């Protein structure tokens, strides 16, 4: 072979199946066996845009890799061919065909002119052995140039073998009667498949069969690849049936293509069935075979199956059962491990999104990966952290965080840390969130404004819990903890602790915290003064409370409705009813209307000071101002009337409340019942009705405003709730397993 024909492999009865070189006499192929074996790991390149010499070399690589372990097929007749056809067609669930050879289904189409077809623009690049394009730039045959791109463009609209015969004749020497090199046809077949011209590809194969060209595995594998590229998977049946009819046994490339088509269709079970057929035929799988099987595991989301398959491949590699270069397999195993990580990541993500037991399922996959030696990278863990969004995912979040910290140099994305701080707060694991924030301070990365806001919000939740429960000592410890971690408590945080002292009636503690707040450089607001006044009023330190009021007005802090409410409670406690009226008039002069909370505070102060008659008087004054009483009003009023020895009036107030649709607590019912019995009142107690079911009684709070602005539900009653939220849940799970 000379000139333009240099580098063109021979295809025929006298060509080597492994390298397509011409046989040298009876001594066999001249290519060294080591060079043939190295072809097993060569990757086929895209052929449509390369010169023909490069196209043919890369096109034959797939055929070389498969043919190295298969004998050259011979045509068989009668029962033997029919038996082999039945075995292979079982892969497609098809009935066996009779021995006579099947031909391709011909599709009628309009005939196009050769010159018009050759002039069309196509995606096929024009190139030849000499690297030129255009006229004479293609591969030469018999001294004449063959433009592969032009051939492909001309055959794009071919529908039958006759169309191919007529269109190809223009590229032959003498105008017809011959054939182009077989490699040109195979390149055109694959290119037509990429363009979606599957009918033309089938017509080319039918043309070769008519001309009695020795069709081989490579031709049919190219046609099967064209079927895969077009996505018309149903036509693969006819290709496989014709292979068996021609007596051509499928090789590993055929099975790889078939499995790849099943993966694209989502038929995972069929992929495993074909792989079992490969092992049953004792074919030598390639890296593409194993990669396709791994893709099937990814399609099904079977993380454990992918891990077991990877372990099996490693065992085969250690035993020397994988044929090929060791370095090549090392690179392939790196790809397999990455693919296994992706399969596991997808499986864990699906469990987090819609699993029945997401925590258990994800932890089992992580444990299986550890046992198999599959080590994801940091970014794989971080992507999984972002999938943790539910309250029940905090255990997974903590485990992934610990793995990232233990991985390599311990670097972690700040955004991931912020997400974990948010997640821990959502799951009410505030101490765990604080641990992550402490790691940011000690190990990095440096926290940003979002980190600060998130951790401050968690502290505020804890402080609000302390405020509602009246656990002022816990609130003080939280403030100290914030200052230790470089967090500066603001007025909101200090006010929460002051309100906790007010809730617990701890006047001395409230005074100390108020002083520390000022020493910390913060200016008390009306909420701060109101909480302090409430604590002093509950401690019956009325004179000290009045001095605080004077100081508040002196520094320019304008009192609001609820501050005035506390002030009237102070004067009620002192027994100075004239000042109570003066305070109410002062409120009206500043256009501050008293509410039911104001009168509830006055009536409650009367109850604490055993002034039942005064409480009933203020109840009438409230009605005169058209202020509707609520449950707390009637509850306090009934208690005040019983203290004053007026059970009948207490009975009437209870019945009035019930007639208005208010639900008084069991305590009020019992108070009226016991008072009527004790005083011997002639009242039909059956009119009270059945005893109400036990329920939570309304909270009697004079300065209800200072607690209402941050009501939180389901908050812990003690610090015991936060115990045991460390970073070792996964290790406890492993021991239990």
- Exposed e or buried b for every residue in 277-292, given b needs 16+ CB within 10 A? bbeeeebbbbbbbbbb
Is the pLDDT score of 4 beyond 80? no
Torsion sign, CA atoms 273, 274, 280, 282:
negative
Name the percent of the chain lying above pLDDT 70: 74
Cα–Cα distance measured from residue 491 to residue 388, given in angstroms and rounded to the nearest whole number: 34
Q: Quick one: average pLDDT of 626-637?
A: 91
Residues 6+ apart with CB under 8 A from 382: 404, 412, 413, 416
Query: For 408-441, how does the pLDDT look when each residue is reduced to its tens digit (9 = 90+)?
Result: 778 899 999 999 999 999 999 999 999 999 999 9
Cα–Cα distance measured from residue 360 to residue 395, given in angstroms and rounded to the nearest whole number: 10
Cα–Cα distance measured from residue 274 to residue 269, given in angstroms and rounded to the nearest whole number: 9
pLDDT of residue 84: 43
Q: Which residues pair with 15 in a beta bridge?
A: 22
Residue 301 Rama label (left phi>0; alpha psi -120 to 50; beta): left
Contact assessment for residue 114 and residue 154, using Cβ atoms and an 8 Å cutoff: yes
Q: Which of 132-136, 208-212, 470-474, 667-671 has the highest mean pLDDT?
A: 470-474
Helix (H) or strand (E) holding 170: none
pLDDT of residue 219: 92
Cα–Cα distance measured from residue 32 to residue 21, given in angstroms and rounded to the nearest whole number: 11
Is the pLDDT score of 2 beyond 70? no
pLDDT of residue 175: 56
Mean pLDDT estimate for the chain: 77
Distances (CA, A) of 141 to 82, 155, 180, 182, 235: 39, 19, 7, 11, 33
The phi, psi pair for 15, rounded to 5°, reads: -115, 145
pLDDT of residue 1: 35
Query: For 648-697, how does the pLDDT look when each residue is reduced to its tens digit (9 = 90+)?
Result: 888 899 999 988 888 888 888 888 888 888 877 777 778 888 888 765 44
Helix (H) or strand (E) holding 448: none
Categorize the per-residue pLDDT at 174 as very low, low, confident or very high, splitting at 50, 70 and 90: low
Categorize the per-residue pLDDT at 48 as very low, low, confident or very high, splitting at 50, 70 and 90: very low
The phi, psi pair for 330, rounded to 5°, reads: -60, -45
Is the pLDDT score of 271 beyond 90? yes
| 318 vs 10, higher pLDDT | 318
Is the pLDDT score of 127 beyond 50? no
| 8 vs 636, higher pLDDT | 636
**Residue 465: alpha-carbon gap to chain centroid:** 32
Distances (CA, A) of 463 to 225, 312, 667, 722: 67, 56, 31, 14
Name the residue with tokens 């730039």. Answer: 137
Contact assessment for residue 373 and residue 354, using Cβ atoms and an 8 Å cutoff: no
pLDDT of residue 297: 93
Residues 6+ apart with CB under 8 A from 356: none
pLDDT of residue 528: 95
CB atoms within 10 A of CB 174: 9
* Positions of E strands within 50-183: 139-141, 144-146
DSSP conformation class of 721: G
CB atoms within 10 A of CB 35: 10
Least confident of 27-41, 259-273, 507-521, 647-661: 27-41
Cα–Cα distance measured from residue 482 to residue 56, given in angstroms and rounded to the nearest whole number: 72
pLDDT of residue 695: 53
| 32 vs 167, higher pLDDT | 167
Contact assessment for residue 16 and residue 23, using Cβ atoms and an 8 Å cutoff: yes
Least confident of 102-106, 258-262, 338-342, 487-491: 102-106
Residues shown for the chain: 737
Query: For 568-598, how does the pLDDT look when each residue is reduced to its tens digit (9 = 90+)?
Result: 989 988 888 889 889 989 998 989 989 999 9
Q: Quick one: average pLDDT of 9-25?
A: 38
> DSSP alpha helices (H): ranges in 520-646?
526-538, 542-554, 561-574, 577-589, 596-608, 612-624, 631-643
- Does residue 629 have a cis bond before it (omega within 30 degrees)? no
Provide the terminal-to-terminal Cα distance of the chain, rounded to the nearest Å.
Answer: 70
Q: Quick one: average pLDDT of 165-193?
A: 83
Cα–Cα distance measured from residue 68 to residue 38, given in angstroms and rounded to the nearest whole number: 11
Q: Which of 299, 323, 298 is nearest to 310 (CA)?
A: 298
Burial class (CB within 10 angstroms; exposed 0-12, middle 13-18, buried 19+) of 627: middle
Is the pLDDT score of 40 beyond 70? no
Give the largest CA-CA distance in the chain: 134
| 629 vs 85, higher pLDDT | 629
**Residue 650: alpha-carbon gap to chain centroid:** 62
- Structure-block tokens of residue 243: 């292979």
Q: Quick one: average pLDDT of 533-557?
A: 93
């Amino acid at each position: 072979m000379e000139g333009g024909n240099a580098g063109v492999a021979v295809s025929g009865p006298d060509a080597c199946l492994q390298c397509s070189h011409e046989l040298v006499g009876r001594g066999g192929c001249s290519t060294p066996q080591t060079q043939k074996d190295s072809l097993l790991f060569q990757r086929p390149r895209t052929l449509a845009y390369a010169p023909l010499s490069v196209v043919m070399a890369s096109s034959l690589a797939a055929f070389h890799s498969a043919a190295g372990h298969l004998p050259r097929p011979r045509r068989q007749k009668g029962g033997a061919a029919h038996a082999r056809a039945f075995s292979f067609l079982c892969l497609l669930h098809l009935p066996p065909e009779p021995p006579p050879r099947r031909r391709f289904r011909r599709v009628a189409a309009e005939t196009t002119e050769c010159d018009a077809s050759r002039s069309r623009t196509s995606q096929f690049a024009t190139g030849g052995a000499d690297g030129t394009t255009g006229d004479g730039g293609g591969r030469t045959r018999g001294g004449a140039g063959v433009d592969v791109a032009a051939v492909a463009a001309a055959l794009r609209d071919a529908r039958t073998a006759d169309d191919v015969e007529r269109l190809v004749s223009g590229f032959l020497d003498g105008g017809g009667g011959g054939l182009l090199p077989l490699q040109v046809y195979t390149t055109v077949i694959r290119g037509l498949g990429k363009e979606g011209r599957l009918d033309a590809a089938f017509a080319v194969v039918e043309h070769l069969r008519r001309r009695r060209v020795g069709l081989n595995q490579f031709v049919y594998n190219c046609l099967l690849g064209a079927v895969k590229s077009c996505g018309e998977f149903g036509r693969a049946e006819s290709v496989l049936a014709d292979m068996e009819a021609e007596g051509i046994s499928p090789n590993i490339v055929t099975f790889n293509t078939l499995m790849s088509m099943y993966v694209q269709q989502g038929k995972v079970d069929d992929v495993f069935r074909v792989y079992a057929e490969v092992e049953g035929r004792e074919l030598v799988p390639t890296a593409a075979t194993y990669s396709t099987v791994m893709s099937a595991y990814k399609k099904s989301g079977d993380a454990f199956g992918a891990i077991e398959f990877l372990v099996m491949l490693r065992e085969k590699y250690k035993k020397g059962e994988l044929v090929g270069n060791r370095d090549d397999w090392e690179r392939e195993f790196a790809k397999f491990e990455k693919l296994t990580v992706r399969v596991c990541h997808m499986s864990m993500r699906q469990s987090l999104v819609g699993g029945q037991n997401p925590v258990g399922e994800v932890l089992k996959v992580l444990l299986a990966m550890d046992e198999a030696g599959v080590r994801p990278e940091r970014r794989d863990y971080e992507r999984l952290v972002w999938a943790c969004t539910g309250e029940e995912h905090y255990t997974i979040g903590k485990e992934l965080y610990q793995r990232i910290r233990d991985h390599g140099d311990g670097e972690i994305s700040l955004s991931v840390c912020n997400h974990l701080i948010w997640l821990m707060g959502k799951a009410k694991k505030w101490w765990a969130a604080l641990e992550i924030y402490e790691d940011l301070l000690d190990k990095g990365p440096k926290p940003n404004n979002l980190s600060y806001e998130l951790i401050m919000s968690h502290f505020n939740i804890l402080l609000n819990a302390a405020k509602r429960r009246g656990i002022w000592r816990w609130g003080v410890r939280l403030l100290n903890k914030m200052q230790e971690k470089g967090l500066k408590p603001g007025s909101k945080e200090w006010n929460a602790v002051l309100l906790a002292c007010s809730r617990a009636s701890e006047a001395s503690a409230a005074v100390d915290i108020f002083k520390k707040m000022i020493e910390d450089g913060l200016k008390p607001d009306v909420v701060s003064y109101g909480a302090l006044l409430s604590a002093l009023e509950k401690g019956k330190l009325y004179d000290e409370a009045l001095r605080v009021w004077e100081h508040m007005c002196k520094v320019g802090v304008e009192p609001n409705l609820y501050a005035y409410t506390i002030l009237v409670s102070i004067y009620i406690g002192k027994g100075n009813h004239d000042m109570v009226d003066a305070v109410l008039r002062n409120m009206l002069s500043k256009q501050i209307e008293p509410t039911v909370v104001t009168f509830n505070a006055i009536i409650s102060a009367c109850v604490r000071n055993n002034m039942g008659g005064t409480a009933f008087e203020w109840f009438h004054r409230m009605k005169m101002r058209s202020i509707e009483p609520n449950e707390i009003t009637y509850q306090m009023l009934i208690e005040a009337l019983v203290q004053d020895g007026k059970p009948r009036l207490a009975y009437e107030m209870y019945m009035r409340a019930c007639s208005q649709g208010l639900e008084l607590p069991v305590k009020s019912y019992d108070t009226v019942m016991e008072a009527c019995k004790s005083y011997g009142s002639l009242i039909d107690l059956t009119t009270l009705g059945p005893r109400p079911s036990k329920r939570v009684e309304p909270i009697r709070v004079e300065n209800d405003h200072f607690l209402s602005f941050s009501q939180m539900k389901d908050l812990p009653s003690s610090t015991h709730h936060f115990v045991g939220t460390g970073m070792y849940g996964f290790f406890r799970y492993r021991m239990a397993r």
